[in-house]
Structure 1
């Protein structure tokens, strides 16, 4: 089983740690594509910081985010699960997982990253500022770049198992699961009040984090979307299975409270 997560926009910058070892990251098939993004981002931020801030959507009150990108190759690194912050990662609570669940997380969970394509929770990365919908002068659109290059990395990480796709729309556009649709479950969280359902960002992120945590702690290894739906039901969620599509089978997790 491979679980794909979106990154967080907010990141905690490590205060100490070795610089990025790009060659040491998992999935070396992505190394050259990673280098191209990093080179373009660093050059953009060093050449014209003011323009870079505009391109990257950096608030005027946080110019250090541009500086951080400019120094990306020499900045300290930390585990990805400590760099990525926000509601989903707080709910996942990687640091407090059991030993067995931590081992599963290192094998089964990948974050879809604008900078690295895919990165494991235990891999060491620096903090950076680069959203998935950004276009860089020397690279073009980040989404288009990864659509060209991410596939081999996903297939290598997935193997013959089930793909559990928890990515948000921006990062889902990096790679579509058409080639493995029959063993792909795309999970959506819906907040229901008075019979009306809608996607609410906070509920969506928090519930996805809890789902990942529960799957890792349970040790379950579903092989199909239907088996995943059964596991999630056993773990206490209300799940509705949608029709199979060209990009996988949709699972709606219905919640009424956080």
Structure 2
């Protein structure tokens, strides 16, 4: 099983640590694309309109500076750099030793700069949303759409891909209809007074807790049906949609966060 997560906009900038070593990251086949994105991002950060292109406000010049020194800034484990609702609910640091070991091989994080990172990969803090168009390179999503397929296929192997990415980062790569990869996507629905809807905070927090539960339980389902069963055993209310050429959607229904 490979659990594919979105990144977070907010990050904890490492205060100390060795600088970025692209050769030390997982999925080394992505190194050429990573180098292209970093070069374009550093070049952009030297321009006066960098904040505007990156979709940042006038008070966020510090984030442009972060990008400018991405090659030399301190790094830390990705599971310590990414923050936010999903990552707070998942709580990498609080996982048991066994669950943390499982996370190293069963979790990957989509990244606008690095394409795909593992929890233990050492990365610096940066700010690059998935909908940005980098001058001279084009849309970030387009860069990764060409490169991510083989890397994800290698990472998931014969197992199940559990896709928890947001819409923005799902655009980086989707398995083609002819792909042999088994895919389960998860949607979280908040039910209140008989009405169901997607609420961002509930969605992110619930996905974080689902990942935590799967890692702690040691569950390693190989099909969407088996994943639904594993989540049901863990106390989640799951409704399974129809299987399609692009995977099976599982709806997790919650009444409170």
Q: Taking structure 1 as the reference length, what is the TM-score of the superposition?
A: 0.97
* Alignment correspondent of 2:139: 141
- Partner residue in 2 for 1:255: 254
* Post-superposition CA distance 1:222-246 (Å, at most 9, x none): 1100000000000000000001122
1:243 alignment partner in structure 2: 242
Q: Secondary structure at the match of 2:241?
A: strand
Q: Output one character per residue of 1:132-177: Cα deviation in whole Å (capped at 9) or x when no partner.
A: 0000002100011111111111011111100000000000011112
SS at match of 2:49: helix
SS of aligned partner of 1:131 = coil
Q: Where in structure 1 are there 5+ consecutive unaligned residues?
A: none
Q: How many residues align?
A: 256
Q: What is the RMSD of the two structures over their aligned residues, measured on CA atoms?
A: 1.0
1:5 aligns with 2:15: no
Contact 2:6 2:109 in 1 (8 A): yes
- What is the rounded CA distance, in whole Å, between the counterparts of 2:51 and 2:145 in structure 1? 25
Q: Is contact 2:184-2:224 (8 Å) kept? A: yes
Match runs of 1:105-254 below 5 Å? 105-178=103-176, 179-180=178-179, 183-254=182-253
**Are residue 22 (structure 1) and residue 22 (structure 2) matched?**
yes
Is 1:40–1:137's contact at 8 Å kept on the other side of the alignment?
yes
Q: Report the equivalent of 2:33.
A: 33
Q: Offset at 1:7?
A: 0.3
TM-score, L = length of structure 2: 0.98
What does 1:86-101 align with in structure 2 at a 5 Å threshold? 86-101=84-99
**Post-superposition, which runs of at least 4 consecutive aligned residues in structure 1 deviate over 6 A?**
none
In 2, the alpha carbon distance for the partners of 1:123 and 1:180 equals: 27
Unaligned runs of 5+ in 2: none
